[in-house]
Chain A
Amino acid sequence: MSSAARMQPETHPLLWRLDHGTPITEIAAYESLEGYSALRKALRDLEPAALTQLVKDANLRGRGGAGFPTGVKWSLVPMGPDVGTKYLICNADEMEPGTFKDRLLMEEIPHSLVESMILSAWAIEATRGYIFLRGEYVLAAERLRKALAQAKERGYLGNNILGTGWNFELFVHTGAGRYICGEETALINSLEGRRANPRSKPPFPQIAGAWGKPTIVNNVETFCNIPGIVLRGAEWFTGLSAGRSKDGGTKLYGASGRVRRPGTWELPMGTTGREILEEHAGGMQPGLNLRAWLPGGASTDFLLPEHLDLAMDFDTIAKARSRMGTGLITVVDDKQDIVAVTRNLIDFFSRESCGWCTPCRDGLPWTAKLLAALEHGEGAPGDIETLESLCGLLGPGKTHCALAPGAVEPLQSALRFFREDFERGIAAQPALARAAAGGTP
């Protein structure tokens, strides 16, 4: 991000304001860089339904990981003067391991999220909004709260916004730490002051969400795409990824692990893993080779070096039996123990299970225990088959939410690609090995 004038609003709608490397936290600075001009334009020229149609035409898909079309989600909200209270919520509970993009947007361009949410609230005629921010993001909370106060002072928030007669209030709600809060119905329960157990669907939040009222939940990055679409149009947005992907726009991609230059970059949707890893992250650190990669967080299946030339978009990565997820790559080098890496991922999900559904609550600790045994060479014959069966028992459709199915994605792919690594963890004489390690034979 430090190189001279590289990012323009036409090519880097999410991050161009950071081209000079300085966070834009004051409203005057943000306004001088097109800030709140999309809001002015929409409230002057676009009826709510027209704004939703524009977002549909742009084919914006949710950047939180699931890729659901944003405009379609919005169009499910009941509209009209009789509907009453409606909520707009930003899922800013960024906690997917290996994901570090929303923090950047909120800390460095807080007004971008604020403007984007006001615009989105206009589209669904929301009356109240919350930014559900994870509690550890202390700097983001401070900057967002200041941005909200400044926006209110300027008349972008509150009563009779820009003379339209429309009232909208927006608050920062900080969480108290649980991964499951990123699941939208669990997030709503948490916002209501309850344990963050996911809700059974239907009803979907668009109809009955927070306090039983129609509610839209979108990710930070998803929201931040809206002002560009309003200012430059749907065709411009889909053109940003022309030739690379049929999903429109740019995407915040990134890489972490033992690469030369870990970081986050705004690139056209459909940029390949190879370009992200080799050109932007500078390749592997000296002496290391790529063994595997998670395309977008801990709940996405491993891919191999041979998959690096795939376009990083929702459908292409899905065809390779993984998911683009959040689009931030976690790189596993050849000096890592793949069993230990998998055990670390499962430990995370095991700890973060909310405990509501039995397969998840009991199955994940069991999985973690088997993996720990294999990691330490104390596995028993049949352990790998048990793990394979757990991948099915914890898979889609067995639980209220996607936590357990997400947890087994890296496990099932690790077993498929690296089975011999797991086999090496089976002790020749399991009972003796466990006794020697101090365990019960």
Chain B
Amino acid sequence: MTGSGALIASSAGDFVLSEAEIHEIRHEMEHYEDPRAATIEALKIVQHHRGWVADGAIEAIARVIGIGGAEVEGVATFYNMIFRRPVGRHVIKICDSISCFLTGYEELRAEISRQTGLDWGGTTADGRFTLLPVCCLGNCDKGPTLMIDDDTHGPVAPAEVTALLERYT
């Protein structure tokens, strides 16, 4: 057991959270009765600064919050919006739930895959786009719908894909 503990410590060794990240995480911890509740927000803070959550960040976050690294990892792998691998500069999330399925999601997805060369989870070689599915975006009256980063777009016809993607360089 001591061996695995040392391994965790060393793998987090080269990873250092920035002052800004630590400050933001501590600020979130004040909003809850128990600091653990800031775990998800802490992961989002690190991802906001770095684009994704590297292995070292897990242990570093755990130390700030005061819980175990495995607990942070359990949370990080549970939630769809936390990326444990590097992603592109822009993340395209296409709604694949029922209302969009009924209004042309498959054609939209095929066109985006054709233009970017991406399947689910893939990132373009130039690091521009990552493609992911997403649960119903609550935009069902404007299906098919998708998000690129924080922007929601819908309805998006396949013919509009080229112009839409050009806005994200």
Question: Do A and B belong to a common assembly?
Answer: yes
| Interface positions of A (Cβ within 8 A of B) | 85, 94-100, 102-103, 134-138, 171, 173-179, 190-196, 210-211, 254-258, 262-264, 294, 298, 328, 330-333, 336, 341, 344-345, 347-348, 352, 354
Q: Which of A94, A95, A195, A348 interacts with B75 by CB under 8 Å?
A: A195
Task: Name the distance in Å between A338's Cβ and chain B's nearest Cβ.
Answer: 11
Measured between beta carbons, the chain B residues less than 8 angstroms from A262 are 140-143
Q: Does B68 contact A (CB under 8 A)?
A: no
Q: Does chain A have a CB within 8 A of B124?
A: no
Say yes or no for B86: interface residue by CB 8 A criterion: no
Interface residues of B in 131-169 (CB under 8 A from A): 134-143, 147, 150, 152
Expressed in whole angstroms, the Cα–Cα distance for A100 and B99 within the complex equals 11
- Asked if A176 and B81 make an inter-chain contact with CB atoms under 8 angstroms apart, the answer reads yes
State which of B37, B81, B137, B139 has its C-beta within 8 Å of the C-beta of A193: B37
Q: Is B39 at the interface (CB under 8 A from chain A)?
A: yes
Q: Which residues of chain A are near B135, meaning CB under 8 Å?
A: 95, 97, 177, 179, 348, 352
**Docked-complex contact A99 and B75, CB < 8 angstroms:** no
**B80 adjacent to A178 (CB under 8 Å):** yes
Q: What is the number of residues of chain B that contact chain A, defined by CB distance less than 8 Å?
A: 40
Is A94's CB under 8 angstroms from B102's CB?
no
Residues of chain B contacted by A341 (CB below 8 angstroms): 98, 101-102
Interface pair B136/A99, CB less than 8 Å apart: yes
Complex formed: what's the CA distance from A262 to B141 in Å? 5
Name the CB-closest residue of A to B149.
A138
Is there contact, CB below 8 Å, between A196 and B78? yes
- When each residue 36-53 of chain B gets 1 if its CB lies under 8 Å from chain A and 0 otherwise, what string results? 111111011000000000
A95-B44 Cα distance, complex, nearest whole Å: 20
- Is B116 engaged at the interface, CB distance under 8 Å to the other chain? no
B31 near A171 (CB under 8 angstroms)? yes
B40 near A175 (CB under 8 angstroms)? yes
- Nearest B residue to A352, CB-CB: B135
Q: Does B138 lie within 8 Å of A257, measured CB to CB?
A: no
Q: Which residues of B contact A294 (CB under 8 A)?
A: 98
Tell yes or no: B59 within 8 A of A by CB. Answer: no
Q: Is the CB of A138 within 8 A of B37?
A: no
Does A190 contact B80, Cβ atoms closer than 8 Å? no
Report the Cα distance A29→B64, complex, angstroms. Answer: 42
Residue of B93, B98, B142 near A330 (CB, 8 A) is B98
A-B contact pairs, 29 of them (CB 8 A): A95-B136, A97-B140, A98-B98, A98-B136, A100-B140, A136-B93, A136-B147, A171-B31, A174-B41, A175-B40, A175-B79, A175-B81, A176-B44, A176-B80, A192-B34, A193-B36, A194-B39, A196-B78, A210-B33, A211-B34, A254-B140, A256-B141, A257-B99, A262-B140, A263-B141, A294-B98, A333-B102, A341-B101, A347-B96
Given the known interface contacts A100-B138, A257-B102, A262-B140, the answer about A298 and B97 at a Cβ–Cβ threshold of 8 Å is yes
* Contact between B78 and A178, CB atoms less than 8 A apart: yes
Q: Considering the chains assembled together, what is the distance between the CA atoms of A14 and B3 in angstroms?
A: 60
Residues of A close to B78: CB separation below 8 A: 178, 195-196, 354
Q: With A and B bound together, what is the CA distance between A173 and B79 in angstroms?
A: 15
* Interface residues of B, dominant DSSP: mixed
Interface code B54-88, partner A: CB below 8 Å = 1, 0 otherwise? 00000000000000000000110011111000000
Which residue on chain A has the smallest CB distance to residue B134? Answer: A136
How far does the alpha carbon of A331 sit from the alpha carbon of B143 in the complex, in Å?
13
Chain A residues whose C-beta falls within 8 Å of the C-beta of B142 in the assembled complex: 262
Contact with A along B99-133 (1 / 0, CB 8 A): 10111000000000000000000000000000000
Query: Shortest CB–CB separation between residue A207 and chain B, in angstroms?
Result: 17
- A336 near B75 (CB under 8 angstroms)? no
Of B36, B97, B141, which is within 8 A of A97 by CB? B97
CA distance A115 to B57 in the complex (A): 39
CB distance from A92 to the nearest CB of B (A): 10
Max chain B Cβ within 10 angstroms of own Cβ: one of A135, A210, A294: A135
Which one of B39, B141, B150 contacts A264 once the chains associate, using CB atoms below 8 Å? B141
Q: Are A178 and B98 in contact (CB under 8 A)?
A: no
**Cα separation A190 to B36 with both chains bound (whole Å):** 10
Complexed CA–CA distance, A137 and B151 (Å): 10
Chain A residue with the shortest CB-CB distance to B77: A195
Contacts of A174 in B (CB 8 A): 41, 44
Q: Which 9 A-B pairs have the closest CB atoms?
A: A176-B79, A177-B80, A256-B140, A97-B97, A262-B141, A193-B39, A97-B136, A177-B81, A256-B99
Given contacts A96-B136, A344-B97, 15 further A-B contacts (CB under 8 A): A95-B138, A98-B140, A135-B81, A178-B79, A192-B37, A193-B32, A193-B37, A194-B39, A256-B103, A258-B102, A262-B142, A328-B140, A341-B98, A348-B97, A348-B98
Shortest C-beta distance, B11 to chain A (Å), equals: 22
A254/B136 in contact, CB under 8 A: no
Distance in angstroms from B153 CB to nearest chain A CB is 13
